[in-house]
C-alpha cells in the first residue's frame, strides 16, 4: 500500500498465511505419456466391410429416390385423370347406374335382428315368468309378527 492510502483509509489487519512451495526441480513425472508411441494399425477386413456396407447403403438410397420419383409421377397422372370428367357407361333405361341398396351382409344382419325380436315377442310370457321369479329372490320378505303371549314353554320331561 502506498502512504497516501494508508493515511486516508483506516488500518485493517489482514492475517498472513504461510505457504510452502516446493523447488521447481522437484515436480513428479507422469507415469505414461499422453502421446501414443506407436502408430495405430487398421484391420483391412474391417475397412473392406465398412466400405461394402456404405456402398450398399448408397445404392439402396438411390433406389429409394427412384421409387419415390416414380410414385410421385403416378400420383400426378392419377390427379390429372381425376380432374378430367369420367366417361359414363351407357345404361339401360329403368336401371340405375349404381344401386344404392344394402349389401348382402347388411341384409343378413337386419334379418338376424328381426328373428331375435320375433323370438322375444313369441316367448314374452315365459320371459315375464322367469324375470318375476328372478326378481322375487331379491325382494326382502316381510318380517313375521311376533307372538303376543310371553308365557314360557312347559319343560319337557326326559326319561
* pLDDT, tens digit (0-9, with 9 covering 90-100), for 143-156: 666 766 666 666 77
d(CA 46, CA 56): 15
In a domain, 94, yes or no: no
d(CA 109, CA 102): 11
pLDDT tens figures, 48-104: 999 999 999 999 999 999 999 999 988 888 777 777 766 666 555 555 555 668 899
pTM: 0.28
- The grid coordinates of residue 2 equal 502506498
Question: What residues contact residue 97 under an 8 Å CB cut-off, 6+ apart?
Answer: 88, 89, 91
In a domain, 21, yes or no: no
In a domain, 69, yes or no: yes
In a domain, 14, yes or no: no
> According to DSSP H, which parts of 9-142 are helical?
44-83, 104-122, 124-138
Task: Give kind and range of the element (H or E) at residue 5.
Answer: helix 3-8
In a domain, 74, yes or no: yes
Domain residues for the domain of 67 are 45-83
| Residue matched to cell numbers 324375470 | 131
97, 88 Cβ separation under 8 angstroms: yes
In a domain, 1, yes or no: no
In a domain, 89, yes or no: no
**Count of domains observed in the chain:** 2
Kindly state whether residues 108 and 78 are assigned to the same domain.
no
In a domain, 109, yes or no: yes
Amino acid at each position: 500500500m502506498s502512504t497516501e492510502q494508508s493515511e486516508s483509509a483506516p488500518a485493517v489487519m489482514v492475517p498472513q498465511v504461510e505457504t510452502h512451495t516446493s523447488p521447481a526441480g522437484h515436480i513428479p513425472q507422469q507415469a505414461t505419456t499422453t502421446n501414443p508411441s506407436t502408430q495405430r494399425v487398421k484391420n483391412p477386413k474391417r475397412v473392406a466391410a465398412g466400405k461394402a456396407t456404405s456402398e450398399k447403403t448408397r445404392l439402396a438410397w438411390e433406389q429409394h429416390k427412384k421409387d419415390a420419383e416414380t410414385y410421385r409421377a403416378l400420383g400426378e397422372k392419377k390427379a390429372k385423370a381425376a380432374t378430367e370428367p369420367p366417361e359414363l357407361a351407357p345404361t339401360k333405361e329403368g336401371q340405375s347406374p349404381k344401386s344404392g341398396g344394402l349389401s348382402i351382409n347388411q341384409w343378413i344382419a337386419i334379418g338376424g335382428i328381426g328373428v331375435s325380436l320375433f323370438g322375444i315377442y313369441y316367448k314374452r310370457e315365459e320371459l315375464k315368468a322367469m324375470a318375476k321369479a328372478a326378481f322375487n329372490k331379491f325382494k326382502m320378505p316381510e318380517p313375521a309378527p311376533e307372538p303376543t303371549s310371553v308365557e314360557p314353554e312347559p319343560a319337557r320331561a326326559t326319561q
